[in-house]
Amino acid sequence: MSHHIPAVSWDQARELLHAAGTQAAPDTKTEALPLLATIDHYLSEDVHAMMPVPHYSSSAMDGYAVAGNPPWRLVRPSYPEDSRANIHRLTVPISPGEATPILTGGLIPEGTEAIVREEHTSNYEGTDSLASTDTRASIHYLEMAEGFEPPAAGTDIRFAGVELQHGDYLARHGERISSRMAAFLGTNGFDELPVYAPIPVRCAFTGNEVITFGLPDPGQVRDAFGGFVEHAIAAAGCEVRPSARLADVESEFSTFLTTSTARILVFTGGSSTSGVDMVRKALNDLGATYIFESVDVRPGHPALSASLPVPETGLNAGRQRFVLGLPGNPLAAYTALYSYLPPLLAGLRSMPLPAADTAVLAEDVPTLRKAVTTRLVPVRVTEGVAYPLPKSASHMLSSLAAATHFAVLDDSTVTGGAHPAGSRARIIPVF
């Protein structure tokens, strides 16, 4: 194969992968899983609110539910012996001129107009002037403490349905379920969720110079992928099959490709065009069809993707499998993984190509001296602002360790040598 390989653009690479996944037999098996088991899975259906949120009107503060103007006559619900478990549900109706104690989250009593905070009140003892002298009993009254005014109607009441109405969207088809999303759906009464079954993925880690423990000698490097890439792949909603570590021997690459049954096979390293890079040679020998062989992007130029022939017999009979070849340099490999795995997964699930979000650059980002169309720059995104991180050469990982996203920058459209602070850039998440 020629060392001069035409490069597609970063956007084209994503589009080609998505199209290839869409045209293959879909991987759209679904299942209902218990809530906690759905984390890092993808929803196979829209999820709607089964009740208003909050589902009842409650107090936002410890204090008193009041009606009318002060002073308020204090009335208290009766407390049965087993009331502790139901204390937030115990109420007594109140009329104008009355108040009753209430806890944060407590059910709003009938007749309540507002909540008065405990620390804004004072109590005093009086008597019922309407009762006869013989039957008068001590009555407790509530008034505003010095310096505080009576609350306006609705103060510190969390009204039912103020956040969500019954039937509102909670999460949409295709969304990844994070731990935060699962907690939110759990508070909305969901015990199970419909999700896509994870797509099987298997990794092969290459490079004779890679060591997996200890300090590397000159000519050696510590492994930046084993155990870490799998975690990222699992976070993308995949089933991670046991990984392989391959010596730079062609037969090991061919065996991995022919015997692995996962739908997607991921190589780290070995995807370039040197004499010791075996991925392309093994793919060529097997008659694979390239989806792309090179991408006009930095870092991550040597990334490739291919589809393997569909055998009529054997372990993989009738199954279309895909290969992602990630560069050997650590940052380049992770940028390729975050760029190309999501579009392929979306295609296999018959979902739209994932759209990139945007954020505002916090500072100028100089263009590269090399002629390159697209760059992926590690950034930390906070409240819609992207803060570029230093030391982002293809072999460096310090910026990735602090990144939440990559900014996708098109150097070919920039004049003056820099993407200016305040300009808007596309971003893709680090998962």
Q: What is the pLDDT of residues 36-95, one digit of tens each?
A: 999 989 999 999 999 999 999 999 999 999 999 999 999 987 766 555 556 667 789 999
Rounded CA-CA distance 146/189 in Å is 43
Report the pLDDT value the prediction gives residue 79, as an integer from 0 to 100. Answer: 63
Most confidently modeled range among 69-83, 122-136, 410-424: 410-424
Q: What would the mean pLDDT of 268-296 be, rounded to a whole number?
A: 87
Exposure on the CB side of residue 395, measured as CA atoms within 13 A: 2
Strands (E), 169-318: 169-171, 192-196, 199-206, 210-211, 221-222, 238-240, 244-246, 264-268, 289-292, 295-298, 304-307
Cβ neighbours of residue 276 under 8 Å, at least 6 residues apart? 248, 270
Partners of 125 in the beta sheet? 140
Would you state the structure tokens that stand for residue 192, as one six-digit string?
A: 């199970």
Q: In the numeric block, which tokens belong to residue 91?
A: 């109420």
Q: What is the mean pLDDT of residues 228-253?
A: 92
Per residue in 290-308, is it b (16+ CB within 10 Å) or e — as a string? bbbbbbbbbbbbbbbbbbb
Q: Encode burial over 415-428: b for 16+ CB neighbours within 10 A, e otherwise.
A: eeeebeeeeebbbb
Question: What is the per-residue pLDDT for 137?
Answer: 59
Q: Which residues contact 231 (CB under 8 A, 6 or more apart)?
A: none
pLDDT at 380 over 80: yes
- At residue 27, the pLDDT reads 83
Residue 238 CA to residue 57 CA, distance in Å, equals 41
Predicted pLDDT at 77 = 79
